Amino acid sequence: MAVAYGFWMVLLCFAADVPAVSINGKAVNPEAWAFLTLTRGGDENPTTRAQLIDQLIERELMRGYLEKLKVVADADVVDLRLIQLEELIRRRGSEPADVFAKLGLSVEQLRKELALGVAWEQYVEQQVTPKQLADYFEEHRSEFDGTRVKARQIFRKAMTDAEVVAAEKLLSQLRAEIAAGKVTFAQAAVQYSQSPTAKAGGDVGWIVGVGQLPLNVALVALALQPEELSQPVRSPFGVHLVYVSERQPGQLSLEDVRPEILKRQSPMLWSAVVAQLRQSTRIVRPAP
């Protein structure tokens, strides 16, 4: 009960406090805000609220854009997304019908909001050409084809600018010493790494795809050849130095990973379209 109560209180707080947003003089439907807080979460932090308002504006811009292009979401896919949303709510300890009613969300509005995401996915498939898919796959093959690399890392925590500078300086010095054979990567990791893998000489095992390390660090690791060292790499958590000892090429084809490539392309295309729409749209939003 406590979990369900807390879940409802967050949602009700944010659904009730609908921001005054208008697009070309037309106020945004409050239910669109309710849906956003339901699916993206809510927080009284002003920064988080501002981010949600940005997402609300982007969704309304894209809704109008796709409607103008007559991109209609597949009804069966929308039905599936609704089932998935209801299941998520149940896993959080609430009944979907009760949550939707408390937020003032009708089934029709829910389907409309879910249809936006489905229509966007269909639009992405239409816009990304076979050549673009093939070129992207070749450029990023190791990220998609199942390539495996056996890696070690030396990690230094760094949150402030000063800490980042200090960490990058230390890791650059260690890189030079390792490259010169003055110390092994494993020895340097034991002494200097602040990762739980330090005791194992920084060994993070086999990396497949981009899910086992911060995204940009995993991408660097997958691009390395055996016995190769990276430059210091920043992540949201700090700075990393990566070493790869073994590499096994993957066997997956473009068609095997087509959905994943489209998923990678989607946010880039979304940002480009939204930036263009903003230039010709009058948007009114609450002052920060």
Condensed to tens digits (0 to 9), the pLDDT of residues 15-42 reads 447 889 999 999 998 899 988 888 886 6
What pLDDT does residue 43 have? 57
Q: Are 264 and 123 in contact (CB under 8 A)?
A: no
The CA distance from 208 to 9, in Å, is 40
User: Looking up tokens 């379209």, which residue turns up?
Assistant: 273
What pLDDT does residue 39 have? 83
The CA distance from 74 to 144, in Å, is 27
Closest CA to 214 of 222, 202, 225: 222
What pLDDT does residue 211 have? 64
The three-state secondary structure class of 43 is coil
Q: Are 100 and 111 in contact (CB under 8 A)?
A: no
Q: Are 107 and 86 in contact (CB under 8 A)?
A: no
List per-residue pLDDT tens for the chain, 288 residues long. 333 434 333 444 444 478 899 999 999 988 999 888 888 866 567 888 888 999 999 999 999 999 999 999 999 999 999 999 999 999 989 999 998 988 888 999 999 999 999 999 999 999 999 999 999 999 999 989 999 999 999 999 999 999 999 999 999 999 999 999 999 999 999 999 999 999 999 999 999 876 668 889 999 999 999 999 999 999 999 999 999 999 999 999 999 999 999 999 999 999 999 999 999 999 999 877
Domains, the chain, ordered by start: 2-128+263-284 (1.10.4030), 146-248 (3.10.50.40)
Q: What is the pTM of this model?
A: 0.76
Q: CA Rg, the chain, in Å? A: 23
Phi, psi torsion values for 71, nearest 5 degrees:
-90, 110
Residue 239 identity (one-letter amino acid):
V
What pLDDT does residue 42 have? 62
